[in-house]
């Protein structure tokens, strides 16, 4: 047993931190809330109330969004503030304002819809397709679509290895699609050789979960058909978001956090010219 994890957790969060490591070792998924967890939850709830669930800045500003707490309580504030995965937002904006513009947005791992409801609300795409495994998140996704008066979409369950055989891709051609893929490591499964070849004329934005598997093999597959660029989380600007003006510095920067366990990386894959 790795005692360093227990010591580190105890030093950070006291006895609750120690117990959470122990629960993990015993196979339990439930965790006790630390004081910082409680503060994050309170701040998220406060921002949702103040904003009336309207995104406050960024590409998706003014989009109504109810947020699923199924996976994490740590990103509620950053989503409502419009800061969440700002780099992905920037990539979508650049692509849709270039010669590479696509008609259809395919969001694999859509959650409650941050990266599909917002773009459709802003009419950046003609049609959206969401794949989402979690029932609670799917219900919120449908509600968020309805609240934003969005009708041009379809929702499916988990994207399996054969997801490109879905009839939706007969109606909406694969080469006219931008794919956003965020599926907690399953990107290494669904992006096999056959699927990568089928996607060679699409645009892909992929969140890479490097702590689950090495991205080297996937990168090699993709590089045969795509020009690949990497990006990661950069700076955040809170100065123009009025809703946070009455919070103190600690609270504002906690709200800007996405609650990541480590430094995340995304790949943007643009088709190579034939």
Mean predicted confidence (pLDDT) in 237-263: 90
pLDDT exceeds cutoff 60 at 212: no
- Per CATH, the number for 35-271 is 3.40.50.150
Residue 35 pLDDT level (bands cut at 50, 70, 90): confident
Instruction: Summarize pLDDT for 136-179 with one digit per residue, the tens.
Output: 999 999 999 999 999 999 999 999 999 999 989 887 799 999 99
- Kind and range of the H or E run holding 240: none
How does DSSP classify residue 273? P
Distance CA 231, CA 206 (A): 10
Contacting residues for 65 by C-beta, under 8 A, at least 6 apart:
53, 54, 55, 79, 80, 112, 113, 114, 117, 118, 144
**What letter does residue 247 receive in the DSSP assignment?**
S
What is the spatial order of strands in the sheet that 127-131 belongs to? 153-156, 127-131, 104-108, 177-181, 203-208, 265-271, 226-232
- Which pLDDT score, from 0 to 100, does residue 203 have? 97
Residue whose pair of structure tokens reads 């910082």 in the numeric block: 36
| 116 neighbors 233 (Cβ within 8 angstroms) | no
Q: Using the predicted structure, report yes or no on whether residue 70 has a pLDDT greater than 90.
A: no
Measured between alpha carbons, how far is residue 23 from residues 19, 28, 162 in Å? 6, 5, 36
For residue 16, what are its two tokens?
Answer: 């609750």
pLDDT digit string (tens) for 229-240? 999 988 999 999
- How far is it, in rounded angstroms, from Cα 112 to Cα 94? 24
Band the pLDDT of 16: cuts 50, 70, 90.
Answer: confident
Tell me what pLDDT residue 96 has.
97
pLDDT for the residue numbered 209: 81
Report domain extents, the chain. Answer: 1-32, 35-271
């Amino acid at each position: 047993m790795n005692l360093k994890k227990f010591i580190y957790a105890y030093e950070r969060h006291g006895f609750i931190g120690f117990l959470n490591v122990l629960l993990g070792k015993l196979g339990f998924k439930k965790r006790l809330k630390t004081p910082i967890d409680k503060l994050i939850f309170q701040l998220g709830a406060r921002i949702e109330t103040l904003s009336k669930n309207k995104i406050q800045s960024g590409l998706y500003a003014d989009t109504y969004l109810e947020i699923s707490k199924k996976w994490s309580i740590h990103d509620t504030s950053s989503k409502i503030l419009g800061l969440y995965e700002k780099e992905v937002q920037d990539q979508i904006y650049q692509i849709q304002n270039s010669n590479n513009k696509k008609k259809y947005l395919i969001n694999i791992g859509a959650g409650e819809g941050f990266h599909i409801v917002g773009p459709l609300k802003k009419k950046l795409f003609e049609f959206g397709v969401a794949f989402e495994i979690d029932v609670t998140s799917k219900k919120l996704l449908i509600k968020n679509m309805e609240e934003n008066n969005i009708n041009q979409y379809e929702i499916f369950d988990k994207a399996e290895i054969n997801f490109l055989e879905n009839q939706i891709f007969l109606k909406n051609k694969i080469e006219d699609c931008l794919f956003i893929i965020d599926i907690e490591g399953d990107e290494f499964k669904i992006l096999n050789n056959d699927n990568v070849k089928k996607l060679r004329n699409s645009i892909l934005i992929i969140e890479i979960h490097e702590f689950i598997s090495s991205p080297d093999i996937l990168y090699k597959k993709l590089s045969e058909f795509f020009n690949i660029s990497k990006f990661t989380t950069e700076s955040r600007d809170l100065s123009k978001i009025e809703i946070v003006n009455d919070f103190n510095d600690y609270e504002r920067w906690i709200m800007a956090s996405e609650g990541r366990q480590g430094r995340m990386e995304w790949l943007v894959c643009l088709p190579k010219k034939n």
